Amino acid sequence: MLNLPKNTILGKLRIETVFQFYDIPRLFSCINSSGTKFLALSVFDDYESFKWLYLPVSADRFSSIVNKGIVLRDAFLSPEDGYLYEVESNFSGESTVRHVFPEQIPLEDLPDEDIHLESKESVHPGLGVVDADLAAAGSRRETYNLHFYPWDTKLPEIDARDLGGILTSFQELANALGQYCKGDVTLKGAIPADILEATKFRATQIFEGSFGLQLKSKSTSDLFHSSLASDALLELTNLIESRDSEDSISNKLHELKGRVASKYRSFLKEVSKLDSPMKLHWGSPNSERGRVLSLSKQEIKKAFDLVSKIDIDMSESVTFRAELLGLDVKTKRYRVRHLSDNEDYSGKILDESLDAVRHSEINGIYNVTLKKIIETNFSSGAEYTKWALVTLESANN
């Protein structure tokens, strides 16, 4: 049986998982006594001497490789510490080891492009590190650590309903910000599937020292450390950094447009329910990004109140061509049908718009402007979106 390197700087090694075997293990993971993990790749042998590449991998990096977030060639070309080990050994394990930089490795020694790690057995890479910066660098995924400090319990616990509300509102806010970053902002309807996928986050672990929750982007960054998830988190962090400044929040929300204001309002509403301070630690594969922010519970509540007011003042609206199906100025009600998607809208007519729409003709085609209004059921806390009629302008003019 082939012996692993002995008496080297790699430490005392043992094989964990063999991914490829042909006469000898060709691609495998191993770990030393101090817990350092390596991914080892056979690059040459003549059955008497052997040459290997040993790639040190953190739990986060190994997880991304195992879960096919990083292809094998990229893993060996972008080691976390900037170098890997070249090992020359004989069958008994007598070895020489030297540091090599990825640019010194002949490309023909590496797996082909777009080849992922495959395993016939279950591999458990572990949770990874808590520190957001280290986790992001290792996994090449955007990492967002949320810290809460609930004072109503001595244990690091949060009600399941409250936690679910925070996670859902965070994800919807990330989706809305991703739509803004792509330059295709809408107020209504489904966000394109490619944006939803690119801004999807997963809860990866919880930790103590507060109630800590780690979120990571489902997608990994490219070799230039860019991703839509990263762009969305940059906008989110800039928005949160406005804290409880009315001018800063207003300017930022008017810049972001679309559904961001209502989604940020929902996120702040869920967080404010905890009556707790919040600390955010954003770690990014892009060394020029990432930040640590803390908000007091007073800042959170004031920001929520400001965003609630701004969300109304912004007068978010949508304009489209539609057929007028119904109009009653006495009850102040209307109903129209969108010509593009046949979706019906109905609701109240704004008081200031009554005179202007009074003589509109049923079944006429109009350029319709509706204002988005969010109402809250104070007993249940549920939010409802309604559309008020602002203008009806003949499409024939």
Run of H or E including 134: helix 132-139
Q: What are phi and psi of 76, to 5 degrees?
A: -75, -25
Q: Which residue has the tokens 């602002």?
A: 390
What was the pLDDT predicted at 361? 93
What is the spatial distance between Cα 292 and Cα 341, in angstroms, rounded to a whole number? 44
Contact 252, 264 (CB under 8 A): no
What was the pLDDT predicted at 97? 95
CA-nearest of 387, 363, 361, 359 to 373 is 387
What was the pLDDT predicted at 98? 94
What was the pLDDT predicted at 383? 64
Sign of CA dihedral 100, 102, 107, 110: positive
Contact 93, 51 (CB under 8 A): no
Residue type at 49? Answer: S
User: Model-level pTM?
Assistant: 0.67
What Rg value do the Cα atoms of the chain yield, rounded? Answer: 28
Strand partners, 56: 38
What was the pLDDT predicted at 378? 45
Angle (deg, nearest 10), helices 260-272 and 297-313: 150
What is the spatial distance between Cα 215 and Cα 167, in angstroms, rounded to a whole number? 9
Using the CB atoms, write b or e for 183-194: b if 16+ within 10 Å.
Answer: eeeebbeebeee
What is the spatial distance between Cα 320 and Cα 314, in angstroms, rounded to a whole number? 19
What tens-digit pLDDT sequence spans the chain (397 residues)? 678 888 899 999 999 999 999 888 999 999 999 889 999 999 998 878 899 999 999 888 998 898 888 999 999 999 998 999 999 988 777 899 999 999 999 999 999 998 999 887 777 777 788 899 999 988 889 999 999 986 655 567 888 999 999 999 999 999 999 999 998 777 667 889 999 999 999 999 988 778 899 999 998 887 778 899 999 999 999 999 999 998 899 889 888 877 898 899 999 999 999 889 999 999 999 999 999 999 999 999 999 999 887 755 555 678 899 999 999 999 999 999 999 888 999 999 998 899 999 999 999 999 999 987 766 554 555 667 789 999 999 987 5
